[in-house]
Amino acid sequence: MTRVLLILPTGTYRAPDFVRAAAALDAEVVVASEHRQAMAAAMADRALVVALGRPAAAAQAIVELAGRRPLDAVVAVDDQGLQAAALAAEQLGLAHNPPQAVAATRDKARARTVLAAAGVVQPDFRVVGPGDDVAAAAAAVGLPCVVKPVSLSGSRGVIRADDPAAAAGAVARVRAILDDAGEDPGGPVLVEAFVPGAEVALEGLLRGGTLEVLAVFDKPDPLDGPFFEETLYITPSRLEPPVRREVVALVQEAAGALGLAEGPVHAEVRVGPGPACLIEMAARSIGGLCARALRFGAGISLEEVILRHALGLDLDGLAREGAASGVLMLPIPGSGVLEEVGGLDAARAVPGVEGVELTITRGRPVRALPEGDRYLGFAFARGATPGDVETSLRRVQSALDIRIAPPEPANPPKS
C-alpha cells in the first residue's frame, strides 16, 4: 500500500475530501497538523504535530517520521503547509516544487519582483515599509491602486484606494489585519496598480514544468473593490479562444519564472482592453470547497488528481467532465454573530443545484472582508451551459436569507 502524508492546517475546509481521495487510491494517510485535536481519532497512530510557522522544523519532523516508515508523497492542501511540504519532499526525493519557488509564491512582494525580472505582465507595484511614503507609492503606480498584505490569501486585507489619503488609510488597516492574523504588522505591504477588466481563475497541474490546464473559471461578478470578495466561479470559461490561449500562456510563463515545476497551481488573471495580466499565482489548488465543482474522467475529484500526480500514478487522458459546473461562495454580508440562514430548502431545490453546504454554524462570530478569512458556505451546480449554471447559482443566492446580529460592544456600558 502506498503511503501519503497530508499537511492539513487546523482551519482547512479540505481534510475530508483529501482523505476520501486517498481512500479511493487505496493509499494510507498520515496527517500532519498544528494540533492533534484537529485530526481524526481514527488516525491517532498516524498523526504528526508540526509547527507550520517553522517550515524547516516541520519538514525535519516529516523526514524523521519517513525514516521509521517510508512515505510515497507529501502533499500540502493549503498555503500554510506548502513550504514544509516542499522542504520535506526535497529531502526525501519525492515529487516536489523547489522550496525557493514555493517561498516566492508565499510572499507576494517577492513574487512580484521575480515576475518583473522575467518580464511577466502584471500590475505595476511598489513595496512599502512602516516609514515609507504611501502616497508617493500610490502616485507612482497610478490611481486607483490596490493595497494588499504580502502573506495572506483569500482576498483578506486586499483594499482598493482611489486617492493618496485612502491608500495611506488602507495600509494602516492592512497592518491591523496582519497583527490580528498573527503576522508582522511592521512588515512590507504591496501597493499596486488596479487593473480593470474581467477576472478569471485558472486551475492547472504542472508536470515536469509543463502546465496542464484542468479548468478555467469565469468570475461573472465584477471585482472592482473597495474589497475583493469572490462569489461565483463558472467553468468552462466563456472567454474567446484567443484570449483563453493568452491566459494559459501567461500562467505557464509565470510558473516558469517562479521556478514551479510539479503539482497544482491556482492563478488569477485579469483580461480587459490590454494584454492579460497576472494578479496572483499560488502553488496549490483552488481553496475552500470550490474543488467540488470539478470532476474528471469517470467522476474523479480534483483531490484525487493531485494525489495521483504526487504518487506518480497514471493521469493520461484524464479530462474535465463535459458538463458546465460552478460554485457560489456564500459571502458574509457583515461582521457580527450568525443568527440564521433561511431559505436553505428553497436553495437546494433550485434546478441544477447539487448541494448547499454551510461551513459556519449558528451562534458563531463572523467577519466580513477585508478582515474576515472565511466564507459562510458553498453552493454547487451543474448544467448544460455556463449560463445555466450561473442562473442556478444566482437563484440560490436570492433564496438565502442570511441574518447576522451586530457584534457585542467591546466594553458594554455598566448598568
Block means of pLDDT (10 residues each) for the chain, length 415 residues? 94 92 96 72 72 95 95 95 97 96 97 98 97 96 97 94 97 97 95 97 97 97 95 97 98 98 98 94 95 92 97 88 96 95 98 97 95 94 98 98 86 58
pLDDT of residue 66: 95
Question: Any residues with CB less than 8 A from the CB of 237 and at least 6 apart, and which?
Answer: 200, 216, 217, 218, 244, 386
For the chain, residues classed under CATH 3.40.50.20 are 3-97
- At the fourth CATH level, the homologous superfamily of domain 323-415 is Pyrimidine nucleoside phosphorylase-like, C-terminal domain (3.90.1170.30)
Question: Where do the DSSP E strands lie in 102-209?
Answer: 125-128, 145-149, 159-161, 189-193, 198-207
Integer Cα distance of 148 and 167 in angstroms:
10
For the chain, residues classed under CATH 3.90.1170.30 are 323-415
Integer Cα distance of 79 and 369 in angstroms:
19
Backbone angles phi, psi at 235, to 5 degrees: -135, 145
Kindly indicate whether the domain formed by 3-97 is annotated with CATH number 3.40.50.450.
no
pLDDT of residue 37: 47
Integer Cα distance of 42 and 378 in angstroms:
27
With 0-12 / 13-18 / 19 or more C-beta atoms within 10 angstroms meaning exposed / middle / buried, residue 413 is exposed
What is the amino acid identity at position 380?
Answer: F
82 membership: H or E segment, kind and range:
helix 82-92
pLDDT of residue 415: 53
CA 285 to chain centre: 7
pLDDT of residue 39: 46
> Which CATH code for domain 124-193?
3.30.1490.20
CA 142 to chain centre: 27
- 21: closest CA among 218, 264, 336, 334? 264
For the chain, residues classed under CATH 3.30.1490.20 are 124-193
Integer Cα distance of 34 and 21 in angstroms:
22
Are 380 and 326 a contacting pair, CB within 8 Å?
yes
pLDDT of residue 319: 87
